[in-house]
Chains A and B, each alone.
Chain A
Amino acid sequence: QKEVEQNSGPLSVPEGAIASLNCTYSDRGSQSFFWYRQYSGKSPELIMFIYSNGDKEDGRFTAQLNKASQYVSLLIRDSQPSDSATYLCAVNIGWAQGAQKLVFGQGTRLTINP
């Protein structure tokens, strides 16, 4: 089992709809969860982080965390063509042992169709 798993996609969503991106992780002790957006040829851009169970909203983005199920998701409302990118889920695996490294999923490629 991979430490952080994402559906690689591609995920195609019509403009204006809700895009739903999912991520599961293996380390039950993880406390910190991040979503990055990466455009082709560019660096990852932090768009959301969540530390507590439940939902966290920021503009059109909502991150959802369920530690019992070891599951974190990202919802993008009112999807725009500019949201087309690869979305990377990152988890601080090994935090309980003092680790600070982020373990990334493979990324989900999202395409918003006008």
Chain B
Amino acid sequence: EAQVTQNPRYLITVTGKKLTVTCSQNMNHEYMSWYRQDPGLGLRQIYYSMNVEVTDKGDVPEGYKVSRKEKRNFPLILESPSPNQTSLYFCASSPLGGKGTGELFFGEGSRLTVL
């Protein structure tokens, strides 16, 4: 089954404790992206990647890091989480080229709480 898998789905952590949210897709998509969703602010893009070893900042990259060492994986790293990073996070992927560029496949989300 074609899917984007995120882990963990739920996490409560404390300020300053490094954490990684993993994202994996099995569709051989070139493009992957991270969004965060907050009440009243909608979905905002954090980082994106056009292919292996190619990453770039989205609208709200502060406090986050990403890497793309393999095509299928795009982990989101919070080096020193703070309470304002409490949010619902979504990973998404898409094939590049043609009419599929706007068709994103989203994961189920990771709800992160930073105390």
The judgment on whether A and B are partners is: no
Which B residues have a C-beta under 8 Å from some C-beta of A? none
